[in-house]
Chain A
Amino acid sequence: MAELSSEEVKPLSLIKPGKNVRLVSITGGRFLQSRLVSMGLLQGTPIEVVKNRGNGPVIVSVKGSRLVLGRGMAQKILVN
């Protein structure tokens, strides 16, 4: 269950580069979730945002590897 914390939950697409966040939930279909999970993105996983230009894909560091996430994806990943 997602924990309600004092920090706001935001989509990953809004997180600035250099910040470390934790994945809260993924809004999306099973395909999306499954895809992300298999790449290491699931609830509670720490994510470091490496690059985020404000548009276009987002680069993150998860479990020791770099992932490029499409903008649409990044918008569906909620973090805090």
Chain B
Amino acid sequence: MQLAHTKKKPGVIKIALVGNPNSGRTTIFNNFTGFRRPVGNYPGVTVKKEEGEFIVDGVRVKVVDLPGTYSLTAYSQDELVVRRYILEEKPDVLVNVLNANNLERSLYLATQLMELDIPLVLALNMSDEAKTRGIEIDLGKLSELIGIPIVPTVGHKGEGMRELLSQAIKVAYKSREQKRITVNYGRDIEDELENLRQLIQREGSSTNTYSSRWLVVKLLENDQDIIAKIRDEKILSAAGEAARRLENLLGERPEIIMAERRYGFISGACQEAVKTTVETRHKMSDKVDDVVMNDALGIPILLLVMYAIFYLTFTLGEGPQRAIEYLFGRLAVFVSSFWPVGAVSPLKSLLVEGIIGGVGGVVVFLPYILLLFLGIALLEDTGYTARAAFIMDRLMHKIGLHGKSFIPLLVGFGCSVPAIIATRTLESRRDRLVTMLIIPLMSCGGRFPIYAMIIPAFFATRWQAPVLWMIYLTGIILAIISAHLLGKTLFKELSEAFVMELPPYRIPTAKSILFHMWQPAWLFLRKAGTVIFGASIILWVLAAFPHKREFETDYTTARFEAIKSFKSGLDTLGARLGLSSAGREMLGVYLAEGRDDPGLLNSGYETDIDHEASVIAEFLRAVDELEKGGELKATGGSGDPAARHEANAKAGDLSSVASFYLEEVKYPLKKNLAQIDRLRQNEQLSYSMTGRIGRALENVLKPLGFDWKISTALIGGLAAKELFIAQMGIIYAVEESEQGKHSLKENIRSDYSPLAAVCIMLFLLIGTPCVATLVVIRKESGSWGWAFLQWGGLTAMAYLVTLVVYQLGSFLGIGIG
């Protein structure tokens, strides 16, 4: 059995899914592949490719989900991607997913697909909805009239999938025999098409890749993409002349007539095969829309919805966020445990502080990101997004954008990376670029820890939420101004083509919401895993080298001293427990190694020490209890009151010894060692590349109210905003999660004025977009030029704004206390 289009081995069938947006194509794709597929990129083109492979009835099948399009012209990026995929990758069969509820429009794409030489199958999706709407379709007749097999499906219920697949496979194998019906464009046009076809056959050049029918149709339609590909002057001029002749004859450009004929064909077929029994409109949807898109209510409702989403994101996300923080903390401890306690090693530092610290700092935000995207996915799947675009359109027009830019900007509040990718729905390149450029001004999730750290440090509780809100608002206002400016300078004409389908409201399936939530979240994670991972390493290198050999303070001695005092504390402890020297040694071994797990105690010594071992074990248990925050209970409940009393006394004793240990011996050691570590780090940092750069920048950033510490930390923020705090922690040699005295918050409070704090937040809000953003802009815009322009522009803006705020504030004496 030969496969139609492939010279590759039979047994792998490539199926491409095409169809209008909102036709349920992706749902069908998910049904086929069960959500197992990587997200990749087409080489050279910036639209995502979804692929999945699996085996069905012994046949290996590869399914590709192509972007949704209404047509195959050369006017939009999506269309070009679809047609290029079809022409270059040559799938074995095309499955065109149609929305049964707007069959006539949906078939428009099919009429064009029919002209390609690739086997075609139609999936009549959402057929359940159509039935309830009273649309009755005679599939057999319709199929006969248009010459293509049709399979009814209900994607979101998973119905018809098997049949669709087997039909597709069948068609792939039988293609040569498939009767080809194509739209008849009328005698005049058909004559010209035939002339052109013969000409091409004579010329024979690079046209073999294309089906001849499709090729001549496109030539006559003046398709720019095809014209660019066919270099043959003879053919091109013949086509041009044919078009002119037809225009004179018919009074209209050929492509218009051809479009009409396509619809005529469709209409003819549908008249025979489709009966609408009840004239139902989008009744329910309409009612909702009356409220939602109401002049007066529209925007307030939208604001309410957005507020609800953000609120839920921040409140529900907190718990999981702490959990992840905890996990990464454990991971750091675990990795550290491979080195003896207190060891200083570059590798350990790289792994723990560099990678776990860096990547962990970002991944910790996954809950927020997921929740935000969940909210947005909910809006999308119910169909509200289209309404939002409609409502916002007027306002967005005033700044030179379309309502469609609204959703990407909203996504930007989670993370810029998926937001920039979301701009793919904008058809005009100009709109896309402007939107992409201002997305970083939507304060992203990465900046949030900065605000969470700084705001409570400087502002009383009742001011905290308003200040946060103002920061976000500033970002939005600056975005508006920027869009306006960009519109006036670099991107003059606003594209006119705002057409969008308004799907009826729909109750989304859990599957599709999860899928839509997971997609952008995955991009965020991937960014963390790649860009931030790499950046963390680089940052670590910058902070670790040059390596300081001789320190101001002798840390080794300091550490030694700390351990010495620990040891003497242990001695006291041993005495209080009544241990012999051998017993104390055993105790020391367990405690000094940081292993206070009573279970590790192994008896099997001589009797004397055996008794001491049990004392030690009890002691360790007591310590364990106290550390867990519990109170000591007497072990063993014998009925004898005297024995119990003795047991209680013993427990009380033990408890006081245990707390002595913890408070006077263990914690101080830990604290001291940690402090020594950090002070050493601090010195190392000043000495390193990072520290030097930071100091070099100090003069530049002084007018903004920043000192070298801030400028050093900003370097961390270059990689990812999330890393700014981590760097600050290192600089201040304080662990940021520590509460109470000497926490990072306290340190910042004492070092900077509220004005400077606000300036820090402003600068980070506006400027130096993270590396990941830079990379994605380059990918989506196609050039580094835009990426650097954005970076430079935003940073310059940040500098300017912060400068003005700081200088003005200082001058007026606001917030410098």
Residues of A within 8 A of B (CB): 1, 28, 30-40, 42-45, 50-51, 53, 55-57, 59, 61-73, 76
CB within 8 Å for A37 and B259 given contacts A31-B497, A65-B501, A66-B504:
yes
CB within 8 Å for A35 and B105 given contacts A59-B390, A68-B389:
no
B332 to chain A, nearest CB (A): 51
CB distance B102 to A63 under 8 Å? yes
CB distance A67 to B102 under 8 Å? no
CB within 8 Å for A66 and B501 given contacts A31-B75, A39-B70, A42-B259:
yes
Q: B30 contacts the other chain (Cβ, under 8 Å)?
A: no
CB distance B403 to A57 under 8 Å? yes
Find chain B residues with CB under 8 A from A40 CB: 102, 104-105, 108, 263
Find chain B residues with CB under 8 A from A35 CB: 75-76, 427, 497, 499
In angstroms, Cα B298 to Cα A57, docked, is 13
CB distance A70 to B263 under 8 Å? no
CB distance B496 to A66 under 8 Å? no
B504 to chain A, nearest CB (A): 7
Q: B435 contacts the other chain (Cβ, under 8 Å)?
A: no
CB distance A62 to B105 under 8 Å? yes
Q: B179 contacts the other chain (Cβ, under 8 Å)?
A: no
CB distance B501 to A34 under 8 Å? no
In angstroms, Cα B496 to Cα A76, docked, is 10
The CB with the most chain B CB atoms within 10 A, among A40, A53, A61, A76, is that of A40
Find chain A residues with CB under 8 A from B394 CB: 55-57
CB distance B281 to A32 under 8 Å? no
CB within 8 Å for A70 and B103 given contacts A40-B108, A51-B293:
no
Q: Which of B6-14, B117-125, B248-256 contacts A (4 or more CB under 8 A)?
A: B248-256
List 5 extra interface pairs beyond A39-B501, A68-B393, CB under 8 A. Answer: A30-B255, A40-B104, A63-B104, A70-B402, A73-B496
Q: B682 contacts the other chain (Cβ, under 8 Å)?
A: no
CB within 8 Å for A72 and B256 given contacts A51-B293, A65-B102:
no
Cross-chain contact of B499 among A45, A51, A61, A68 (Cβ < 8 A): A68
CB distance A73 to B499 under 8 Å? yes
The CB with the most chain A CB atoms within 10 A, among B281, B389, B500, is that of B500
CB distance B251 to A57 under 8 Å? no
Find chain B residues with CB under 8 A from A67 CB: 499-502
CB distance B251 to A69 under 8 Å? no
Q: Which residue of B lies closest to A45 (CB)?
A: B263
Find chain B residues with CB under 8 A from A42 CB: 256, 259-260, 263
Q: Which residue of B lies closest to A34 (CB)?
A: B73
In angstroms, Cα B108 to Cα A62, docked, is 14
CB within 8 Å for A69 and B502 given contacts A1-B252, A31-B75, A34-B75:
no
Find chain A residues with CB under 8 A from B75 CB: 30-31, 34-35
Q: Which residue of B lies closest to A70 (CB)?
A: B498
CB distance B70 to A38 under 8 Å? yes
Find chain B residues with CB under 8 A from A38 CB: 69-71, 73, 108-109
Q: List 17 A-B contacts (CB under 8 A).
A: A32-B496, A35-B76, A35-B499, A36-B499, A37-B71, A40-B263, A42-B263, A45-B263, A56-B390, A63-B104, A64-B105, A65-B503, A68-B389, A69-B499, A70-B499, A71-B397, A76-B496
Q: Mark B266-296, 1 if CB is under 8 A from A, else 0.
A: 0000000000000001100110010001010
Q: B101 contacts the other chain (Cβ, under 8 Å)?
A: yes
A46 to chain B, nearest CB (A): 11
Q: Mark B331-367, 1 if CB is under 8 A from A, else 0.
A: 0000000000000000000000000000000000000
Find chain A residues with CB under 8 A from B282 CB: 66
Cross-chain contact of B498 among A28, A45, A69 (Cβ < 8 A): A69
Q: Which 8 A-B pairs give the minimum distances between C-beta atoms?
A: A70-B498, A38-B71, A66-B502, A38-B70, A40-B105, A65-B102, A56-B394, A64-B102
A55 to chain B, nearest CB (A): 7
CB within 8 Å for A34 and B105 given contacts A42-B263, A67-B500, A69-B498:
no
In angstroms, Cα B105 to Cα A45, docked, is 11
CB distance B502 to A32 under 8 Å? no
A31 to chain B, nearest CB (A): 5
A30 to chain B, nearest CB (A): 8
Cross-chain contact of A57 among B105, B259, B390, B501 (Cβ < 8 A): B390
Interface size bracket, B side: 35 or more
In angstroms, Cα B537 to Cα A20, docked, is 64
The CB with the most chain A CB atoms within 10 A, among B109, B397, B496, is that of B496
Find chain B residues with CB under 8 A from A73 CB: 496-499
CB distance A61 to B281 under 8 Å? yes
Q: B454 contacts the other chain (Cβ, under 8 Å)?
A: no
Q: B386 contacts the other chain (Cβ, under 8 Å)?
A: yes
Find chain A residues with CB under 8 A from B70 CB: 38-39
CB distance B496 to A28 under 8 Å? yes
The CB with the most chain A CB atoms within 10 A, among B256, B386, B427, is that of B256
Find chain A residues with CB under 8 A from B109 CB: 38
Q: Which residue of B lies closest to A72 (CB)?
A: B496
In angstroms, Cα B402 to Cα A44, docked, is 28
In angstroms, Cα B261 to Cα A42, docked, is 11
Q: Which residue of B lies closest to A31 (CB)?
A: B75
Find chain A residues with CB under 8 A from B285 CB: 66
Find chain A residues with CB under 8 A from B260 CB: 42-44
A35 to chain B, nearest CB (A): 5
User: Of residues 583 to 633 in B, which have CB atoms within 8 Å of A's CB atoms?
Assistant: none
Find chain A residues with CB under 8 A from B69 CB: 38
User: Of residues 398 to 412 in B, which have CB atoms within 8 Å of A's CB atoms?
Assistant: 402-403
A72 to chain B, nearest CB (A): 4
CB distance B502 to A59 under 8 Å? yes
In angstroms, Cα B541 to Cα A11, docked, is 65
Q: Mark B369-406, 1 if CB is under 8 A from A, else 0.
A: 00000000000000000100110011001000011000
Cross-chain contact of A64 among B104, B263, B295, B502 (Cβ < 8 A): B104
User: Of residues 99 to 154 in B, which have CB atoms within 8 Å of A's CB atoms?
Assistant: 99, 101-105, 108-109
Find chain A residues with CB under 8 A from B389 CB: 68
In angstroms, Cα B390 to Cα A68, docked, is 7
The CB with the most chain B CB atoms within 10 A, among A37, A38, A43, is that of A38
Find chain A residues with CB under 8 A from B504 CB: 66
Find chain B residues with CB under 8 A from A72 CB: 496, 498
Q: Mark B478-498, 1 if CB is under 8 A from A, else 0.
A: 000000000000000000111
A52 to chain B, nearest CB (A): 12
Find chain A residues with CB under 8 A from B393 CB: 56-57, 68, 70
Find chain A residues with CB under 8 A from B256 CB: 33, 37, 42-43
CB distance B497 to A65 under 8 Å? no
CB distance A64 to B293 under 8 Å? no
Find chain A residues with CB under 8 A from B259 CB: 37, 42
In angstroms, Cα B11 to Cα A34, docked, is 39
B197 to chain A, nearest CB (A): 23
In angstroms, Cα B503 to Cα A67, docked, is 8
Find chain A residues with CB under 8 A from B500 CB: 67-68
User: Of residues 277 to 323 in B, which have CB atoms within 8 Å of A's CB atoms?
Assistant: 281-282, 285-286, 289, 293, 295
In angstroms, Cα B255 to Cα A41, docked, is 14
Find chain A residues with CB under 8 A from B103 CB: 64
Find chain B residues with CB under 8 A from A63 CB: 102, 104-105
